[in-house]
Chain A
Amino acid sequence: MPGAAGEQSVSIRLIVNERRHQLDVGAGETLLSMLRERLSLLGPKEACCEGECGACTVLMDGAPVASCILAAGSTNGRTVLTVEGLAGTGELTALQQAFVSHAAVQCGYCTPGVLMVLTALLEDTPDPSEADVRRALAGTICRCTGYQQIVEAALDAAQLMIRAATS
């Protein structure tokens, strides 16, 4: 945590959402608190703080990680992508657009983490089965939707992306 006195700090360099940063982070500081408090990236959410619900998920070198239990110091030399980096200042991604058209957003607190998990899935598995999508979501809890509209949005986005890539 920033501000905690008497804590050793470590200097790291990393890329977050395509921007380079050099930061001195505390030994006990999590990636989540570094993103939220030092970089003002409030998209990754603070929820269970135990790595169990997935609301804090970001991509590190393309793979989903629970930023709430990952030491900020361990991200030296890494590339991190948060929900803010998906669309940047431009149009929503195909996945995000599918979330709009499938009404897959309710309270929205799990959404940033769910989007990161599914973004990674669609990168690795461009044409996933429904079972693939559900398995990928095993580390993220959505208490609102019962998952169906999220699953349908992901499958729809995959088809849209395949069509866009082949046309």
Chain B
Amino acid sequence: MSLLGSNPARSDADAKLRGEAVFGADLARPGMLWASISRSPVAAGRIRSIDSGPALKVDGVLDVLTAADVPDGRTGVIVNDIPFLAADYVAYEGEPVAIVVADNRAAADAGAQAVDIDIEPTEPVSTPEQALAPGVRLVHPDWNRFAVTGGADIGRDGNVVAEVVHDPGDLDEAFAVADVVVEGTYRTPRQYQAHLEPKMALATYESGRYVIEVSHQYPFRLRDRVAQMLGVAPSAVRVVGHHIGGGFGAKLDVSLEAFAALLARRYRRPVRMQHAALEERLVAPCRANALVSIRSAVSGDGTILATDVEIVSDSGAYANNGPALSAIPMFVFGSIYRVGTARIRTRNVYTNTAPTGAYRGVNGPWLVFANERHIDAVADALDRDRREFRLASLARDGDLMRNGQPLEEISILREAFDRVDELAPWQGAGTGELRGVGQAAAVWLTNPMPGHATVKLNEDGTATVITSATENGSGAVATGLRQIAAETLGLAADAVTITMPDTDATGYDAGSQGSRTTHVVGRAIADASAEVRSQVLDRASQMLEAAPEDLTIDDGVVAVAGVPAASLTLGAVAQAATWSDGPITAGASYVTPTPPHDPACATGMLIKGWPTPTYHLHQAEVSVDVVTGRVTVDRYVVCQEVGRAIHPDAIAGQIQGGVAQGLGFALSERVDLDHGRYVQRTFKAHGLPLAEDVPKVEMIVMEHVDPAGPYGAKGAAEPPIVPVAAAVANAVSDAIGVPFDTLPITPEAVLEALEAES
């Protein structure tokens, strides 16, 4: 019986349910010191002086480090723009200015509060619009001296961190002959990941090397970033991963680790750090706030002749991944619906706000929101049924994305429209007073970045998978990867164990991001397991005196097909192999190849292609309370294509959880900025969805096997968040008859619209 498509228990469930699982935030070492950061209280300003005196008077404080005590120079993922500690000026509220080290946590926190930072405040560049205004102050006057890693031309210019331009030529003709021109501006706020476990680090310095113990989604990037910040070779840093209490993209880059490592060497003691509650929110790498303007030239028959898209996203005070993410619009506009000749310009800009970063689905939720709100607007302008117009405009197999990549299986999306309609017919949905229905579609990638696994057959016939793939909660490691190994080796799922991440012990892994683990690491495990299986069959064929092709392996037993008596346990085979030829192990690597594309399609593109696409259609039915303005989601349907469902219950958990986060983005979650400073200061103020707010999501999981994936699997975990805000906003706009082009659609926004309407 196949293990694929079954729902074995996660390997970490028992420990997590007993409270025994050790998360990063649970770590401690005898003799460890604690350190805490003194952060800028203002969004922008010049540092006049830093007085450590008051902090040094706190009992237990050992020292206070400022910029003069730490490596100088700036580092970063794409642009080297982040100082180790702010030296001359601060660029956002919460920027690290000093580090206080103490012999206990309370003293470190008290010391960090006591450092007297004297800053002459300047008026912050608060919004992307302001950042682009002529003559505005530059967030970083020396921007032109920051190195760009890889040396790529990403279109930097003053407050513009990166610019991606796709300009196929003149659109004027299309707009001149158009019967209808539809314009819209779509505005979305930041979104806070709200992982529950605070960011932390535990660093030691042993035998000339730094050891970082942490809960992190991408230990190898952390290794490289800590090395970069400390100015040492990556091999001088070892990262050991522990259970992660949620990340959603927030734990993909360095945060406290290099500070802790520096101190561990300085004091030759373990050093522990952890964000305090407010700190966690001040510096979270939120999803970027963005403004998308779309103008479409449409002919009377409903053909979109041309589309002009202008995007500005907020990078905050530093670049982080913003330049790379600025390529993503290239994979949204024209990849779902035919939008004619498209000009797409994306600018990612500096502001005096906390740096934004990766949050599940990265730019997808706001790009799909803009794309789908706009499709509704075009359909409305043409007086066409919105679903029928979507189907008429849907791309076809062989169409090219804006990067020149062929859409090979976009017809899966057409099938999704049929499947959703069978379950929740569009006709009759969302009808009635203040009720509405909306749809949104997405084509999302599976992150292609490298992975490796070693599979070893243990001498008792079980197997161990050695990898630094990280379990972020999705179950991809705790069950999916184990099922793939077990299926290939002929073992029960619980006969496969899998290691925790350790950059010393495994090949490179690009972390839990973009749903890559099941597809990329799963493929490496399937390949390595197939090699282990082949070694097993070779050895067993000698022992059983049968040809390898006549052997079967099932539930840990190797048998000659049709001769049940002629059998051996995998343990017996492993023992025999170990003491003759040596232990049975095999390793394999995988990176998804970049799909064919036109390298000249745009300037500034750091992400070139859209590998291993999956297909998504969401449909929301809502009702609006005329008194309270509250939107209730009455019905929510997801149709998602996953390649092959390895663990259906885990996929269901990802869909339900992704939709919940998307509903928060659509209706309730707030991250507002006032003169560069966050308004929401407590956890609850963010309006995170609670159990009473989230409906049961109805799901249709489609399988279209991907020959490159392990048993056909693609990614599944990230994309359920992507179309949600778009589908909900379309439904609310339908219910009220007023376009909702700004998120979140709060009760206040609804009441305002209802008032304007009456």
CB-based nearest B residue for A113: B196
Complex interface: chain A residues within 8 A of B16 (CB): 105, 108, 111
Whether A141 touches B473, Cβ cut-off 8 Å, given contacts A49-B277, A92-B17, A148-B694, is no
Contact between chains at B688 and A144 (CB < 8 Å): no
Complex interface: chain A residues within 8 A of B26 (CB): 36, 42
Among candidates A50, A55, A83, A103, residue contacting B653 with C-beta atoms closer than 8 Å: A103
- Judge whether A110 is part of the interface by a CB distance below 8 angstroms: yes
- Judge whether B650 is part of the interface by a CB distance below 8 angstroms: yes
Complex interface: chain A residues within 8 A of B755 (CB): none
- Judge whether B172 is part of the interface by a CB distance below 8 angstroms: no
Number of A interface residues in the complex (CB < 8 A): 59
Most buried by A among B105, B196, B660: B196
Complex interface: chain B residues within 8 A of A147 (CB): 656, 660, 690-691, 694
- Judge whether A16 is part of the interface by a CB distance below 8 angstroms: no
CB-based nearest B residue for A150: B691
Contact between chains at A48 and B196 (CB < 8 Å): yes
Whether A100 touches B661, Cβ cut-off 8 Å, given contacts A46-B25, A149-B653, is no
Whether A144 touches B653, Cβ cut-off 8 Å, given contacts A46-B198, A106-B475, A109-B196, is yes
Contact between chains at B19 and A42 (CB < 8 Å): yes
Complex interface: chain B residues within 8 A of A47 (CB): 196-198, 245
Contact between chains at A82 and B196 (CB < 8 Å): no
**Interface residues as binary, A1-35 with B (CB distance below 8 Å gives 1, 0 otherwise):** 11111100000000000000000000000000000
CB-based nearest B residue for A87: B18
Contact between chains at A106 and B18 (CB < 8 Å): no
- Judge whether B696 is part of the interface by a CB distance below 8 angstroms: yes
CB-based nearest B residue for A137: B691
CB-based nearest A residue for B192: A143
Q: How far is the CA of A84 from the CA of B690 in the complex (A)?
A: 25
- Output the least CB separation between B722 and chain A (Å): 15
CB-based nearest B residue for A103: B649
Contact between chains at B691 and A149 (CB < 8 Å): no
| Chain A interface helix/strand/loop/mixed | loop
- Judge whether A145 is part of the interface by a CB distance below 8 angstroms: yes
Contact between chains at B18 and A5 (CB < 8 Å): no
Complex interface: chain B residues within 8 A of A138 (CB): 690-692
Q: How far is the CA of A108 from the CA of B16 in the complex (A)?
A: 6
Whether A109 touches B246, Cβ cut-off 8 Å, given contacts A4-B107, A53-B683, is yes
Contact between chains at A99 and B13 (CB < 8 Å): yes
- Judge whether A161 is part of the interface by a CB distance below 8 angstroms: no
Complex interface: chain B residues within 8 A of A148 (CB): 652, 656, 694, 696-697
Q: How far is the CA of A115 from the CA of B649 in the complex (A)?
A: 20
- Output the least CB separation between A96 and chain B (Å): 5
Q: How far is the CA of A44 from the CA of B26 in the complex (A)?
A: 10
Most buried by B among A84, A106, A145: A106
Chain A to chain B contacts (Cβ below 8 Å), 10 pairs? A1-B104, A4-B106, A43-B18, A48-B682, A49-B276, A92-B17, A106-B653, A134-B692, A143-B688, A145-B653
Top 7 closest pairs, chain A to chain B, by CB: A43-B19, A107-B473, A109-B245, A108-B16, A146-B660, A83-B19, A146-B656
